[in-house]
């Protein structure tokens, strides 16, 4: 019987965020969009989380994963991304954004990620 063991990496974002959206855009890339940062400030940042899984050499050692975090172009409207996030046939993300307090109606914005996938 062969067991595969993977060690979890210690992930650190460039800025503290909560209530952000995460969207998997390829086998190894995840977009982290929007959210609320320090002092309840709305964030318009987009980060690309790229994980690199190395293979086990002999199956006995745990697999070591490394990751990279890259800041991409910002979204048009800062705030909390509401679900669902819609991907159209061209590859653009249709996002519904609300402010941190949740008192205003959702605002739709479009974000293109094709150059990063």
Domain ranges for the chain, please list them.
21-116
CA distance 117 to 27: 10
State mean pLDDT over 19-40. Answer: 89
* pLDDT given at position 10: 78
Q: Which stretches of 13-116 are assigned E, i.e. beta strand?
A: 21-24, 29-33, 46-53, 65-71, 80-87, 92-98, 107-112
Residue 34's nearest CA partner among 48, 18, 58, 50 is 18
Residue 116 has pLDDT above 60, yes or no: no
Q: d(Cα 50, Cα 70) in Å, to the nearest integer?
A: 8
How does pLDDT run across 69-102, given as a tens digit for each residue? 999 999 998 989 888 888 888 888 999 998 877 7
Cα separation, 110 vs 40, in Å, equals 24
pLDDT band at 53 (very low <50, low <70, confident <90, very high): low
Per-residue model confidence (pLDDT) at position 12? 84
């Amino acid at each position: 019987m062969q067991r595969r063991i993977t060690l979890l990496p210690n992930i650190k974002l460039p800025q503290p965020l909560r209530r952000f959206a995460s969207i998997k855009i390829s086998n190894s890339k995840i977009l982290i969009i929007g959210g609320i940062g320090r002092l309840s400030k709305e964030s318009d940042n987009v980060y690309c989380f790229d994980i690199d899984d190395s293979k086990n050499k002999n199956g006995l050692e745990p697999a070591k994963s490394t990751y990279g975090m890259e800041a991409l172009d910002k979204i048009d409207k800062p705030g909390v991304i509401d679900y669902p996030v819609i991907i159209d046939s061209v590859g653009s993300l249709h996002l519904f954004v609300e402010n941190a307090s949740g008192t205003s109606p959702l605002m739709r914005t479009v974000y293109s990620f094709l150059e990063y996938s």
